[in-house]
Amino acid sequence: MKLRRIVVLILALTGCLTALGLAASEPTEQAPQTFVYREIAGQKLNAFVFQPAGPEARKPAPAILLFHGGGWQVGSAEWTFASARRFAGLGMVAISVDYRLSEGKVTPVEALDDSCAAFRWVREHAKELKVDPHRVAGDGVSAGGQLVAAAATVGCPGIQGKGASCRPDLLLLWSPALDVAADGWFRKLLQGRANPSDLSPLEHVGASTPPTCIVQGEKDTLTPLSGAQRFSDQMAKSSRVCKLIVYPGVGHLLTRNLANQESDFDPDPQMRADGNAQQERFLKEQGYLPSK
């Protein structure tokens, strides 16, 4: 997976994140509640909470925490606001999450630690947030997929002691980085802090891995299909639920532009809509949304 900082900066400048449905929505839409879920090393990390409307707003609802992509180096929680609003519209408490980006001495180790802290914070504030603490899902795109999947598989070695669980109960993954054991870029970002295989979700699938839905492009050259397929195979061997949806002829984030999957995205709109529908169907199958 050869993601670079310049890749995501180009995406932001060209408006491709909006085209992918990963950017913030129009400013006229209702703003989320903002909480500081963690303050560490002088940095405040925010959780942006979108509450469902209607009857679901009056009782504890399933929650979903959303983690943006960006090669672990760039990005912001706002990139997931459009998706968060979609999940809130389905009746979930949707929470877009900040995490520390790899820069200076900060590595993906710290990002995983933040991700775990976010899941624990939501459960510890379940009553205030009107969340069912036993149905807390994680949604991750690309590098964000590695973080949320690692929280579920690798676990949270940086968060010790008693407290609420810091693992997701269900995973929704979109073009996720699941196999980073031999990834040179990921190794570089780690700065020797950890072995890449120690943080590779594929290497840690087991009997406790939660139900997982993966949306994947067949021709993805950044987070290849092989990683998602092997993850799915490992889940089957462990008798775990894994739904892998592969879209033919498209690449990373379902782009139709196979020649340049790092910056000039052209996501297939019908496949993207179907991917969203597949996620919704999976949530219903797993009891996170009403079946009707």
- Percent of the chain at pLDDT exceeding 70: 88
**Tens-place pLDDT, residues 160-181:** 666 889 999 999 999 999 999 9
Q: For residue 108, what are the CA distances in angstroms to 100, 140, 144?
A: 8, 14, 10
Q: At which residue do the structure tokens 């002691």 appear?
A: 161
Q: Is the dihedral of CA 119, 120, 123, 124 positive or negative?
A: negative
The CATH number of 5-285 is 3.40.50.1820
Question: Per-residue confidence at 271, pLDDT binned at 50, 70, 90?
Answer: very high
d(CA 108, CA 188): 10
Average pLDDT over residues 134-140: 98
What sign does the CA torsion over 76, 56, 138, 270 have?
negative
| pLDDT tens profile 2-40 | 444 434 433 433 334 444 454 444 445 779 999 999 999
Confidence of residue 94 (pLDDT cuts 50, 70, 90): very high
Contact 277, 23 (CB under 8 A): no
How far from 34 is each of 46, 61, 89, 100, 126, CA to CA, in Å? 7, 18, 18, 17, 15
Q: Tell me: the pLDDT tens digits for 182-201?
A: 999 999 999 999 999 999 99
233: pLDDT strictly greater than 70 = yes
